[in-house]
Amino acid sequence: MSGPSPRAQRVERVRAAMAASGVEALLLSLGADLPWLSGYEAMPLERLTMLVLPADGDGVLVVPELEAARVEPAPEVFELRPWAEGDDPVALVAGLVGGRRRLAVSDRTWSTFLLGLQEALPGRQWTVSSRMTGPLRAVKDAAEVDALAAVSAAADRVAAALLGGEIPLVGRSEREVSDELGRRLLAEGHDRVNFAIVGSGPNSASPHHQAGPRRIGPGEAVVCDFGGTMAGYCSDITRTVFTAAPPAELAGIYSILHDAQAAAVDAARVGAPCEDVDRAARERIAAAGYGAAFIHRTGHGIGLEEHEDPYIVAGNRTPLVAGHAFSVEPGIYLPGRFGARIEDIVVATGEGPRPLNTASHELTVVG
Ligand code: ZN
Ligand code: ZN
Ligand code: ZN
């Protein structure tokens, strides 16, 4: 006997979350909520695509007629409502909402559509859909964990090439190395490259440095943080390599970072609040005197999006449950001089934290 499909189960869980929040209709356009629920991703275009999911009725996917054929396979859980050129899709959505007053709209809906809807639907209460979908999407089912493991393994193979010295660094620009990391992500099975940060020398101290024309020299730290999407799910890994054996001070900092990252992974146990994972890394870095140099949260959830719930940050008391997938990526940054970060994706399981990235963390010198 087969029960409800995974997508039908997701719809039921969303309906329960809507009921708990008193939301009468969910309006999903751009972003990952719609593909998570329906398998269909709206095109980021001036033509509106929007799922209207009432708490008390069947869902309707309002979609431009010329894109209706792309809704494949047909979402079993929704009716399709194609609209033709010349139709007013905002009015169509407003008609489907009807008299419902408490509405949730996907976080990434363009303001041009939201403002039009607010004009067409005066006097309503609006909230973001992530209030309901975020905690649900954060808990991955077995198929999603498999997808994350596969895409993480593909990113690991690129990291292994970096650590193994197969990707030349000295004398090349950050941009060239970034391009090569991207090409290798695609060669290892990614469908899309989302980012490939390469920060060398002083640029290593800027956590989100945009790879640029700077030529990588000998005796530098090079932070490489890259990821992409494969079969819908995202990878994200950081390794810091050195182009010559670093002086003792920097080797010591790397060792502190290595231990802090391992401690945070070890703290990522079912039942532990997210902020405890952050604290595990932060306490070790602070105890070594570098607390002020760790200027970002320890991690973010990952799935259909690179950054999603749960956030591994002070103040997030959400307890980890089996299926939570997130990055553990502490860093230490000395402005103008040096920076290092180590990042793995980890899944919380009943048997303990399961790192999906296994490329070496050891201090690595490459040319
Ligand atoms: Zn990253
Ligand atoms: Zn990350
Ligand atoms: Zn290690």
The 3-class SS string of 77-139 reads: CEEEEEECCCCCHHHHHHHHHCCCCEEEECCCCCHHHHHHHHHHCCCCEEEECHHHHHHHHHE
**55 CB burial (10 A radius; 0-12, 13-18, 19+):** middle
**What are the pLDDT digits (tens) for 32-76?**
999 999 888 888 989 999 999 999 888 999 999 998 888 876 677
Neighbours of ion ligand 2 (CB under 5 A): 236, 327
Task: Give the C-alpha distances (Å, rounded to integers) separating 222 from 75, 214, 264.
Answer: 45, 12, 23
pLDDT value, residue 146: 98
Evaluate whether 209 touches 199 at the Cβ level (below 8 Å).
yes
Q: What is the mean pLDDT of the chain?
A: 95
Domain with CATH 3.90.230.10 in the chain: 139-355
- How far is ligand 3, taken at its centre, from the CA of residue 40, in Å? 40
pLDDT for 302 equals 98
Distance 24 CA to ligand 1 centre (A): 37
Ligand 1 centre to CA of 222 (Å) is 14
| Start and end residues for every CATH 3.40.350.10 domain found in the chain | 6-137
Can you give the length of the chain in residues?
Answer: 367
> 330 C-alpha to center of ligand 2: Å?
10
Q: How far is the CA of 93 from the centre of ligand 1 (A)?
A: 37
Surface-to-core class of residue 225, CB atoms within 10 Å of its CB (0-12 exposed, 13-18 middle, 19+ buried): buried
CA angle (295, 197, 346) in 5-degree steps: 65
Backbone angles phi, psi at 20, to 5 degrees: -65, -30
Residue 157 has pLDDT above 80, yes or no: yes
Structure token digits, residue 349? 């399981």
Enter the CATH code of domain 139-355: 3.90.230.10
How much distance in Å is there from the Cα of 26 to the middle of ligand 2? 29
Q: What is the pLDDT of residue 73?
A: 66
Residue pLDDT, tens place only, 298-323 = 999 999 999 999 999 999 999 999 99
**Tokens standing for 317?**
């008391």
Spacing, Cα 326 to ligand 1 middle (Å):
11
- The answer to whether residues 265 and 346 touch, using CB atoms and an 8 Å cutoff, is yes
Taking the centre of ligand 2 as the mean of its atom positions, its distance from the CA of residue 73, in whole angstroms, is 32
pLDDT, average across residues 211-220: 96
pTM: 0.94
- pLDDT over 60 (residue 1): no
Ligand positioned closest to the Cα atom of 360? 3
The mean pLDDT of 208-226, rounded to a whole number, is 96
- Out of 2.60.40.60, 3.60.110.10, 3.40.50.920, 3.40.350.10, the CATH code matching 6-137 is 3.40.350.10
Over residues 111-134, the pLDDT tens digits come to 999 999 999 999 999 999 999 999
**In the chain, % of residues over pLDDT 90:** 91
Please write the tens of the pLDDT for every residue from 238-290. 999 999 999 999 999 999 999 999 999 999 999 999 999 999 999 999 999 99
**Distance set, CA 107 to CA 28, 38, 49, 128, 242 (Å):** 8, 17, 14, 5, 40
